[in-house]
Amino acid sequence: MINETYKAMLGGKSVIRTLSEYATARGKEIGYENVFDYSLGNPSVPCPPSFTKTVIDMYETAEPVVLHGYSPSLGLPGVRKVIADSLDRRFGMDYTLDHIFPTTGAAGALAHALRAVTEPGDEVITFAPYFPEYQPYVSGTGARLTVVPADTENFQINFDAFEQALNPGVTAVLINTPNNPSGAVYSAATLERLAGLLRDKQTEYGHDIFLISDEPYREIVFDGAEQPYPAKFYDNTLTCYSWSKSLSLPGERIGYVAVNPKATDAGLIVPMMGQISRGTGHNCPSSTMQLAVAKVIDETSDLSVYETNMNLLYDALTSIGFDVVRPGGTFYIFPRALEADANAFCMKAKDYDLILVPSDSFGVPGHFRMAYCVDTEKVKRSIPVLERFAHEVYGL
């Protein structure tokens, strides 16, 4: 019989998807170059040529039955070792291949990490603003998501609200840094304070609290800075990664979970994720993609355009009069809307062919997200339109 739970979910359509589809349809009317589509976080720069070359080389020279053969359900050992070694080199960790579980992107990583360290009925805490898909990721495991209100001053962590929310039912905390949608990069001070608090609460509650750190934007950090590595601060950390953004491969569904070797039962968690896979139908990501990312492990796309675009938009928005926190990374900016109702604000912007995403689904009212993974030329053309919109509608 048809499952009634999933049937009932059919109404819920992502605001971002709806806006993106509107932008595409509007583009067909007036030319897509005339739609200032800031809706979707789809990378706008190509993968590095070395990635393309690597895949072509494999297809031209490898034995097809080997290249396309079954990967072990825990991933290709050689690939897992390359990932571990790279993280150890970059962040001073002690991963071995036994701590690495290749996945179908960050979605696959989060699905496995959440199931590994929660039981149905457990509470998982995340911090606003947060990626809306965290709701189905968490509810799909049988756990429930509690959202701690945002620190709207700088989009680090609202620790007062977090301390109030913590209780013995919390078994995992889910963070995303650099953050979608705010662009905030959690500082070492933030991560240190978070880790200290979690350690205290583990002792107080007498059970583990795992930190699940979602890091697909790890390599997109501005001003020459770096994202401090969260697992370095807290032993019970599962790091979830995707090459979607760093190598511009969102459609290829390739990422991993890295289990901190100092975590409780660290040696069991990857094999447990193998068992979880048997029930979700995940198995493992494409064998070719595993091999290909391993061959370009420390490379990225040319990500500089995102910083160029951020600076253009930040300066323009500030000079127009928007209240906006300067992003430290990602390809998002998250200004305060010019009226309290972010949906109304974004609807009015649509009349100017400015496609902005209202903040409510990110767990924060009164803001909007711009995904500036678009051509710089279009960003420049959008600025006078933003000015005209703010002036004509809001008198700025």
Site residues (CB under 8 A) for a copy of itself, limited to 269-308: 269, 271-273, 275-276, 278-289
Alpha-carbon gap, residue 231 to 195, rounded angstroms: 9
| Residue (1 or 153) nearer to a copy of itself, CB | 1
Looking at residues 303 to 362 of the shown chain, list those that interact with a copy of itself (rule: CB under 8 A).
Answer: none
Position 377 contacts a copy of itself (CB under 8 A): no
Among 15, 97, 117, 184, binds a copy of itself (CB under 8 A): 117
Chain positions 77 to 116 lying near a copy of itself, rule: CB under 8 A, are 103-105, 107-112, 115-116
- Write the CB contacts of 55 (distance below 8 Å, at least 6 apart in sequence): 288, 292
Q: Which residues within the stretch 207-246 sit at the binding site for a copy of itself (CB under 8 A)?
A: 207-210
Nearer to a copy of itself, 45 or 161 (CB): 45
What distances in angstroms separate CA 251 from CA 43, 106, 244, one per listed residue? 10, 12, 7
The residue from 118, 179, 309, 359 that contacts a copy of itself (CB under 8 A) is 118
Minimum distance, C-beta of residue 250 to a copy of itself, in the bound complex (Å): 5
**104 or 213, CB closer to a copy of itself?**
104
Minimum distance, C-beta of residue 143 to a copy of itself, in the bound complex (Å): 10
Of residues 284 and 357, the one with the C-beta less far from a copy of itself? 284
Q: How far is the CB of 239 from a copy of itself (least distance, A)?
A: 16
For residue 149, the surrounding DSSP H or E stretch is: none
d(C-alpha 307, C-alpha 304), whole Å: 5
Q: Which of residues 245-274 bind a copy of itself (CB under 8 A)?
A: 248-253, 264-265, 268-269, 271-273
Q: Tell me the closest approach of the beta carbon of residue 166 to a copy of itself, in angstroms.
A: 15
Report the first-to-last Cα separation within the chain, whole angstroms.
57
The answer to whether 349 touches 388, Cβ cutoff 8 Å, is no
Residue 320 CB, nearest distance to a copy of itself (Å)? 30
Can residue 75 be called a binding residue for a copy of itself (CB under 8 A)?
no
Q: At closest approach, how far in Å is the CB of 44 from a copy of itself?
A: 6
Please spell the DSSP secondary structure of 175-200, one letter per residue: EESSPTTT-----HHHHHHHHHHHHH
Residue type at 365?
A: P
Segment lying near a copy of itself (by CB under 8 A), choices 37-45, 151-159, 190-198, 361-369: 37-45
Containing 313, the helix (H) or strand (E) segment is helix 304-320
As a residue count, the chain comes to: 396
Give the nearer residue to a copy of itself in terms of CB position, either 13 or 298. 13
> Which CB, 158 or 309, lies closer to a copy of itself?
309
Q: Exactly one of 23, 36, 71, 325 binds a copy of itself (CB under 8 A); which one?
A: 71
The rounded distance, in Å, linking the Cα atoms of 83 and 109 is 14
Element (H, E) at 102: strand 100-103
User: Which listed range, 28-36, 67-75, 325-333, 363-371, lies at the site for a copy of itself (CB under 8 A)?
Assistant: 67-75
Helix (H) or strand (E) holding 357: strand 357-358
Task: Kindly state the tokens that stand for 230.
Answer: 């969260």
* 306: amino acid identity, one letter: Y
Question: Which of 139, 154 has the CB closer to a copy of itself?
Answer: 139
Q: How big is the site for a copy of itself, counted in residues (CB under 8 A)? A: 83
Stretch that binds a copy of itself, among 42-50, 183-191, 362-370, 382-390 (CB under 8 A): 42-50
Options 22-30, 40-48, 334-342, 349-357: segment touching a copy of itself (CB under 8 A): 40-48
User: Is 171 one of the binding residues for a copy of itself (CB under 8 A)?
Assistant: yes
SS3 state of residue 89: helix
- Name which of 133 and 387 has its Cβ closer to a copy of itself: 133
List Cβ neighbours of 26 (8 Å cut-off, separation of 6 or more): 35, 353
- Using the structure block, give the residue that is written with the tokens 């930190």: 211
- H runs (alpha helix) in 1-99: 4-8, 15-30, 49-61, 64-67, 77-91
Instruction: Say which amino acid occupies 178.
Output: P
Q: Contacts with a copy of itself in 44-63 (CB under 8 A)?
A: 44-47, 52, 55-56, 59-60, 63
68, 137, 156, 290, 320 from 72: Cα distances, Å: 12, 25, 39, 12, 55
Q: Which residues pair with 123 in a beta bridge?
A: 144, 170
